[in-house]
């Protein structure tokens, strides 16, 4: 027995509407679930960076090679979210190569994180300077000079 034409058309219309709804819901689902937050893996949220910075960071390498002068006595110590100490023993004694000489001694600094936590700007009584955070982890910090034309990456290890 043949079905009436009106019944067939009605059934086709229902199927078309159902397919359109399924397609719309599928596209909407794919769009909604495929979107994700833009993460930059090399930098964490500001709170995370500042938490990682707190502590004493001792010089380890410069330009990818070991330091030839007093590395274990040169350091940055981040005390809290805005204060730090800098101690640079940058010369060895002429009379005794094992003896380290400090030009500035321990310097009290304030610091701020800028440019999406990629730049640390230090300020002291001697002026201010900036360093780029190349990478940071629980125990390793790599800083570089700003501007990058003076590039000499400095690797520090957390004590």
Structure confidence at residue 57 (pLDDT): 94
Pairwise CA distance, residues 57 & 60, whole Å: 9
* CATH number for the domain formed by residue range(s) 46-158: 2.40.128.280
pLDDT, tens digit, 9 for 90 and up, residues 64-81: 776 666 656 788 999 999
Pairwise CA distance, residues 77 & 99, whole Å: 22
Residues 6 or more apart whose Cβ sits within 8 Å of residue 92? 69, 70, 98, 99, 100, 101
Peptide bond connecting 114 to the previous residue in cis, omega within 30 degrees of 0: no
Pairwise CA distance, residues 1 & 30, whole Å: 43
pLDDT, tens digit, 9 for 90 and up, residues 104-133: 678 899 999 998 889 999 999 889 999 999
pLDDT, tens digit, 9 for 90 and up, residues 14-55: 777 777 767 667 676 666 666 544 444 444 444 488 899 999
Annotated domain spans of the chain: 46-158
Pairwise CA distance, residues 112 & 78, whole Å: 11
On whether the CB atoms of residues 48 and 39 are closer than 8 A, the answer is no
Structure confidence at residue 76 (pLDDT): 92
């Amino acid at each position: 027995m043949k079905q009436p034409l009106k019944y067939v058309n009605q059934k086709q219309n229902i199927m078309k509407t159902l397919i359109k709804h399924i397609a719309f819901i599928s596209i909407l689902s794919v769009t909604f679930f495929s979107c994700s937050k833009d993460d930059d893996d090399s930098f964490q949220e500001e709170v995370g960076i500042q938490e990682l910075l707190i502590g004493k960071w001792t010089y380890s390498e410069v330009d990818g090679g070991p330091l030839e002068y007093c590395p274990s006595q040169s350091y940055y110590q981040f005390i809290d979210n805005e204060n730090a100490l800098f101690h640079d023993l940058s010369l060895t004694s002429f009379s005794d190569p094992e003896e380290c000489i400090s030009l500035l001694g321990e310097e009290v600094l304030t610091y701020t994180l800028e440019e999406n936590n990629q730049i640390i700007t230090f300020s002291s009584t001697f002026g201010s300077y900036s360093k780029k955070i190349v990478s940071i982890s629980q125990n390793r910090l790599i800083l570089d000079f700003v501007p990058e034309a003076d590039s000499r990456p400095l690797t520090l290890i957390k004590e």
